Chain A
Amino acid sequence: MASIRELHQQLIHKERSAVEITQEALDRIQTIEPKIHSFLHLTSDRALEQAQQVDAKIAAGDEIGLLAGIPIGIKDNLCTQGIPTTCASRILQNFVPPYESTVTQKLADAGSVMVGKTNMDEFAMGGSTETSAYQLTANPWDASRVPGGSSGGSAAAVAANECVVSLGSDTGGSIRQPASFCGIVGMKPTYGLVSRYGLVAFASSLDQIGPFGRSVEDTAILLNAIAGYDPKDATSLKVDVPDYTQFLTPDIKGKKVGVIRETFGDGLDPEVEKTIRAAIAQLKDLGAEIQEISCPRFRYGIAAYYIIAPSEASANLARYDGVRYGARAEDAENLMDMYLRTRSEGFGAEVKRRIMIGTYVLSAGYYDAYYLQAQKVRTLIKQDFEQAFSQVDVLVSPTAPTTAFKMGEKTADPLSMYLTDLMTIPVNLAGLPGMSVPCGFDAQGMPIGLQIVGNVLREDQIFQVASAYERSTEWHKHSPKL
């Protein structure tokens, strides 16, 4: 399984052309898709055209960047001009964006080759990719299990080697949890490090775009390409972006690693716990100083999140009214009837549920009790992290309390699905960067991920720890039998 750097070497030494690499990915997709269903739309013709352009550059003797000619998958909530962008929702079934998101523009400029748009939970609301209006995506390690979510298609595509890297978005764990479930690396950068321009909004104060890869290095290379200030996103941070690959060093002697005590409580699968404890012991062997850290308000994260995120979602999704774009219900009697029917036919159950929660908690008389309370709790959770980072460089925890569950196992009980985000949500509430790195398998052969969390804009610390850990283990070399 080739890495970005290996493929780059093959390209510049003219051992293979970009068209050959792209064609190999497209052929692999043809073979794998009937089993996995990672993609909602394939962009084969455009991909081959992009690859030809890279080959023309190489033939002309021009220098090419690391991502040039690299096949990549894009989550279907990122607007791609002229290419359908559905958010896996019926309401955007025929939506073809008239503009390009900043991240996909940057990737196109870098010469990367988009092979398709990946499946996801509808509007990124879910933890299993089962709320997609179009298809179920299978976990490449066991097709009867979910790939996680909401960026399940992006994670499965990379795990199944249908593309080299992919982009996802993470509002409460939607990159890290599927990365954990699919046995790959996934990173949610600091809020504001990557422009959200052209990302279909779910919960604007929490959403962040990030990379998936089969190695820490591939993930760092992809983050290099998408990070940076963008005047089109008012929450974008005006900071210098370092080359993240410089932090991929094996040495973490003296690095202070905090273990979040509250993530080892009830509901944590014993096999996951054992594996995470072993990974922490491995970090210790590598010279890291391990200490237990308490984040006492961590456990209030889910409740605060499921007030704040649906509140923002209910406002963000008010725009889907059938007037300017997307689907519209036929033969409505009047405007109100058209709104009601368009939205009721266009949104699936989970999206409706979250719009309802958000509308309720923001409605007159409930605002203080729910929304304001949740925002205050958000402050307390942030303070817990601030306290923790005054003592340590990074925090570690399991990424998810269990490995990938069976399809259909949690769909009947939304709250049980929400509780799977226990470990990842507080990180979004505080806007911090977090990564999931493969750290083992359970007895069923399902992957387990270690979550590494850094302080604001301290992606460097995460990359150092993740890279040192990865170099000392073989987990990332395993791949699913397909």
Chain B
Amino acid sequence: MLDRAQVQKVAHLARLQLTPDEEATFTTQLSSILDYFELLSELDVTDVKPTTRAIEVSNVVRVDRQHPFPREDILDGAPDREGEFFRVPKIVTGD
């Protein structure tokens, strides 16, 4: 079970700001989803190795060479820019 304070904490970790309505809905919905996950505890997984990827591929290497992307093409997509930089609101606040 999740409570509202936990939902607020997780939202902040995920950089989401929830409305009070969303908070209430998510508290109920996430709780029922987490309850459903309890199903997995039926299985004995002692000595079972975790699978991180479906099909193991190892030692994938490539030549360490730069492939520079046209700078303007990237900067063109920015919501805000100044010259060759991405522009963002101020980072340090007064308090």
Task: List residues of A whose CB falls within 8 A of some B CB.
Answer: 95-96, 98-99, 190-192, 205-206, 231, 234-237, 297, 300, 302-304, 306-307, 314, 318, 321-328, 332-335, 337-341, 343-344, 347, 349, 352-353, 355-361, 363, 370, 372-380, 382, 414-415, 418, 428-432, 456
Contact: B77 with A431, CB < 8 Å? no
| A353 and B26 contact, Cβ closer than 8 Å, known pairs A323-B86, A343-B16, A344-B18 | yes
Contact A372 B14, CB 8 Å, known A234-B57, A328-B79:
no
CA A338 – CA B17 in complex, angstroms?
11
Partner of B51, one of A231, A323, A337, A379: A379
A-B contact pairs, 23 of them (CB 8 A): A205-B52, A205-B53, A206-B54, A234-B57, A235-B57, A235-B60, A300-B42, A303-B36, A324-B77, A335-B91, A340-B16, A343-B15, A352-B16, A353-B30, A357-B30, A357-B33, A359-B13, A359-B14, A370-B37, A376-B49, A376-B50, A429-B54, A431-B53
Q: Complex: how many Å from CA A235 to CA B58?
A: 9
Instruction: For A428, give the chain B residue with the smallest CB separation.
Output: B54
> What 3 pairs between A and B have smallest CB-CB spacing?
A431-B54, A375-B50, A328-B79
Q: Does B5 contact A (CB under 8 A)?
A: no
Chain B residue contacts of A361, Cβ below 8 A: 37
Assuming A235-B57, A323-B88, A324-B78, is B70 touching A98 (CB within 8 A)? yes
| Bound CA–CA A267/B50 (angstroms) | 30
Report the minimum CB–CB distance from A287 to chain B (whole Å): 31
Whether A191 contacts B54 in the complex (CB less than 8 A), given A327-B79, A349-B22, comes out as: yes
Cβ–Cβ contact A456 & B55, under 8 A: yes
By a CB distance below 8 angstroms, the chain B residues around A370 are: 37
Question: Do the beta carbons of B14 and A314 come within 8 Å of each other?
Answer: yes
A235 contact set on B, CB distance < 8 A: 53, 55, 57, 60
Interface size class of chain B, counting residues whose CB lies under 8 Å from the partner chain = 35 or more
| Cα–Cα distance between A380 and B46 once the two chains are bound (Å) | 11
Residues of B within 8 A of A96 (CB): 77
Residues of chain A with a CB closer than 8 A to B45's CB: 373, 376-377, 380
Contact between chains at B41 and A325 (CB < 8 Å): no
Chain A's nearest CB lies how many Å from the CB of B93?
A: 5
Report if B1 contacts A (CB, 8 A): no
Q: Which of A334, A375, A432 contacts B52 (CB 8 A)?
A: A375
Assess whether B37 is in contact with A303, with CB atoms less than 8 Å apart.
yes
Hey, what's the 0/1 contact readout for B17-48 against A, CB within 8 Å counting as 1? 11000100110011011101101111101001
* A81 to chain B: closest residue by CB: B73
Q: Collect the chain B residues with CB atoms within 8 Å of residue A428's CB.
A: 54
With CB as the reference atom, state the residue of chain A lying closest to B61.
Answer: A234
Q: Are B43 and A297 in contact (CB under 8 A)?
A: yes
Decide: A379 near B17, CB < 8 A? Known: A98-B70, A237-B55, A370-B37. no
With A325-B77, A334-B93, A344-B16 known to touch, is A415 a contact of B54 (CB < 8 Å)?
no
Contact between chains at A335 and B16 (CB < 8 Å)? no
Cβ of A324: which chain B residues have Cβ within 8 Å of it? Answer: 74, 77-78, 86
Chain B residues near A322: list those with CB within 8 A: 79
Q: Which parts of B3-19 form the interface with A (CB within 8 Å)?
A: 6-7, 10-11, 13-18
Which residues on A sit within 8 Å (CB–CB) of B53?
A: 191, 205, 235, 431
Asked whether, in the complex, the Cβ of A328 is within 8 Å of the Cβ of B80, the reply is: yes
Chain A min CB distance to B18 (Å): 7
Additional pairs, 20, CB under 8 Å, beyond known A328-B79, A360-B6: A190-B55, A191-B53, A192-B57, A300-B40, A318-B15, A325-B78, A333-B89, A335-B90, A335-B91, A340-B15, A343-B17, A352-B22, A356-B16, A360-B30, A363-B10, A376-B49, A376-B51, A379-B49, A415-B33, A431-B55
CA gap between A25 and B92 in the complex, in Å = 54
A372-B70 in contact given A191-B55, A323-B88, A344-B16 (Cβ < 8 Å): no
